[in-house]
A and B are shown apart, each in its own frame.
Chain A
Amino acid sequence: MALDRELVGRSYPPSAVFEVGRAKLAEFASAIGDSSPVYRDADAARAAGHPDVIAPPTFAIAVSLEAAMVVLDDPDVALDYSRVVHGEQRFVHHRPIRAGDRLVATTTIDAARTVAGNDLLTARVDLTTEDGEPVCTATSMLVARGA
């Protein structure tokens, strides 16, 4: 089913707060095999100029992809989830995510089109602190392959 272009620009209510903990950051860093101390040792992170341990650059996905699922739950979005694959991903970091951050995700549909029978939907997730400080913009292009 083709995606409705009218969806472009649609924004969803902000997510619940995601509290970033040191243990979660260390776990993620270990899972990607990255031994850098700035992900797990607060003193090392401070020596590198950060207030606390920071997140690896792709950690934002652990917050943003779930937030982006709000789009697939929208009854106006005719995207067959069983056929959805991740087509593209982009992160713009306004500053590194760090332990202690209380992040709120706001999802917006940036693009919706149908190309060669495949539905392409681009969801932009703006991660800010509870106080509204921009932290990361994570943009995911999802592809629902045609039947």
Chain B
Amino acid sequence: MDLAVGTELPEQTYRVTRADLVRYAGASGDFNPIHWNDRTATSVGLPGVIAHGMFTMALAGRAVTDWTGNPGALVEYQVRFGRPVVVPDDDEGAEVTVHGKVGALLDDGRVRVDLTVTSDGEKVLSLARAIVAPA
């Protein structure tokens, strides 16, 4: 891969529906009802059911591993959860868009990828960074 600081990853957009959240809850073991129950979500002051932050993190990670083609190469990955991704109870759900670019070339051929993750035009993750090791 011919890389330089500023190299952009293909932008990815992922659709997230209620069904995806139910499925993620089961696979991850995180059954917090704010991710599937509107009554609970609104009772704690949320606009409605929100996606698991870890689900959004996983989607953003896909943008990196799809780019490298080697999921085992993602050696470090961190995010700060900013705004929640609100997922309406309809067939459209929400969209999460992931834009990545090479932020730094590190020692030993490792590359830092900086991610910008938005939903409905708002940034939902901040300080989202992945470090990819060379093949």
User: Bound state CA distance, A88 and B53, in angstroms?
Assistant: 9
Are A62 and B29 in contact, with the CB atoms below 8 A? yes
Residue A102, interface by CB 8 Å: no
Are A57 and B29 in contact, with the CB atoms below 8 A? no
CB of B118 to closest CB in A, whole Å: 18
What's the A-B contact tally at a CB cutoff of 8 Å?
97
| Pick from A31, A49, A65, A88: contact of B24, CB under 8 Å | A31
Are B27 and A89 in contact, with the CB atoms below 8 A? no
Q: A32-B24, A33-B59, A87-B80 are in contact. Are A50 and B54 (CB under 8 A)?
A: no
Per-residue B-contact encoding for A49-66, CB less than 8 Å = 1, 0 else = 110001011100110011
Are A57 and B14 in contact, with the CB atoms below 8 A? no
| Pick from B28, B77, B127: contact of A31, CB under 8 Å | B28
CB of B40 to closest CB in A, whole Å: 11
Q: Which residues 15-50 of B have a CB within 8 angstroms of A? A: 20, 23-24, 26-30
User: Bound state CA distance, A68 and B78, in angstroms?
Assistant: 17
Interface bracket on B:
20 to 34
Q: Which residues 68-82 of B have a CB within 8 angstroms of A? A: 70-72, 74-81
By the criterion of a CB under 8 Å from any partner CB, how many residues of chain A are at the interface? 33
Residue A21, interface by CB 8 Å: no
Are B77 and A90 in contact, with the CB atoms below 8 A? yes
| Pick from A49, A89, A90, A95: contact of B54, CB under 8 Å | A89
Are A49 and B77 in contact, with the CB atoms below 8 A? no
Q: A54-B71, A57-B65 are in contact. Are A87 and B81 (CB under 8 A)?
A: yes
A interface list, Cβ under 8 A from B: 24, 27-28, 30-34, 36, 38-39, 48-50, 54, 56-58, 61-62, 65-66, 85-93, 95-96
B interface list, Cβ under 8 A from A: 14, 20, 23-24, 26-30, 53-55, 57-59, 61-62, 65-66, 70-72, 74-81, 127
